[in-house]
Amino acid sequence: MSEKMQIPLQERIIVALDVANPELAKEMVRSCESHVSYFKVGLQLFMASYFEVVDWIIARGHKVMLDLKFFDIPETVKLAVEQVNSRGVSLATIHGNDAIIRAAMEARGDLQLLAVTVLTSFGEEDLRAMGMTQSIEDLVLFRARRALELGCDGVVSSGLEAERLRNDLGDKLLIVTPGIRPGANVRDGSDDQKRIMTAGRAIAGGASHVVVGRPITKADNPIEVIKLMQADIQSCLS
Ligand code: C5P
């Protein structure tokens, strides 16, 4: 990445609030917000609280990534994006073909849209099992290029592809990278994530943001994990 994006350190880590209810989510936000100002609401929490936690986080002055990975016929995706576009959410995730992405773009208003490329829990063998013959890296790049051409603000990919995406697609797109594991740049098999990387290395490679769930939410002391990751990010950026 030739020129690092100007993103405040407290927005580089997006904490994934993968918890069962609004109370736990609010507790997690309160315990992280001295150092982090970006939170992700995904399927589990949204199913439990609809927009309650989303609105609450935004009212506290933080940013929200709504990660519902909309995938349906174009009209349905468009109507779903319309439900989100005026609520103050910063980022939402979609995936699908050109028609689906175009429909989402029509409805997005101020909302920034990220196209999911290939889930970070997928390895090459998972693509083969789904009948796909391309390598993960080629598929990620192909999907990211299409998403960018269709006007998406960025993509979700693993850290393994971030550098190539940044080099090939330029400085403007957001590259949001889940599969972050402290101290690990190769899979240790301890959970479902397969394409993993440390926060610092992902950002140094070209990711604009990292999404971190369990390493923070399951930690005895989440803020310590956040501080270590932020120090790692800073040292990798300098
Ligand atoms: O707990 P962990 O750090 O693995 O959480 C990663 C988060 O990022 C989860 O909320 C997951 O849904 C999300 N995510 C992902 N891979 C993608 C897109 C989103 O892991 N490609």
Tens of pLDDT, residue by residue over 28-81, are 999 999 999 999 999 999 999 999 999 999 999 999 999 999 999 999 999 999
Tens of pLDDT, residue by residue over 75-103, are 999 999 999 999 999 999 999 999 999 99
Mutate to test the pocket of ligand 1, among 70, 113, 119, 120 (most ligand atoms within 8 A of CB): 120
Please give the pLDDT value at position 184.
Answer: 73
The yes-or-no verdict on residue 214 having pLDDT over 70 is yes
Look at ligand 1, atom 15, and give the residue with the nearest C-alpha.
178
What are residue 197's DSSP bridge partners? Answer: 180
Please give the pLDDT value at position 4.
Answer: 60
Query: What is the chain's alpha carbon radius of gyration, rounded to the nearest angstrom?
Result: 17
Please give the pLDDT value at position 1.
Answer: 43
Tens of pLDDT, residue by residue over 131-178, are 999 999 999 999 999 999 999 999 999 999 999 999 999 999 999 999
CA 61 to chain centre: 19
Determine the CATH number of domain 3-7+66-237: 3.20.20.70
Mutate to test the pocket of ligand 1, among 67, 68, 117, 121 (most ligand atoms within 8 A of CB): 67
Compute the distance from residue 16 Cα to the ligand 1 centre, in Å: 7
The two most distant CA atoms of the chain are separated, in Å, by: 46
The yes-or-no verdict on residue 24 having pLDDT over 50 is yes
| Contact partners, residue 149, CB within 8 Å, separation at least 6 | none
Instruction: Using CB atoms within 10 Å of the CB of residue 10, give its burial: 0 to 12 exposed, 13 to 18 middle, 19+ buried.
Output: middle
CA atoms of 224 and 228, how far apart (whole Å): 6
Annotated domain spans of the chain: 3-7+66-237
Q: Which helix (H) or strand (E) holds 40?
A: strand 38-42
The yes-or-no verdict on residue 3 having pLDDT over 60 is no
Q: Can you tell me whether residue 60 is helix, strand or coil?
A: coil
pTM: 0.95
Tens of pLDDT, residue by residue over 114-140, are 999 999 999 999 999 999 999 999 999
Compute the distance from residue 86 Cα to the ligand 1 centre, in Å: 25
How many C-beta atoms surround the C-beta of residue 73 within 10 A? Answer: 11
The yes-or-no verdict on residue 190 having pLDDT over 90 is no
The yes-or-no verdict on residue 183 having pLDDT over 90 is no
Compute the distance from residue 45 Cα to the ligand 1 centre, in Å: 13
183 vs 120, which has greater pLDDT? 120
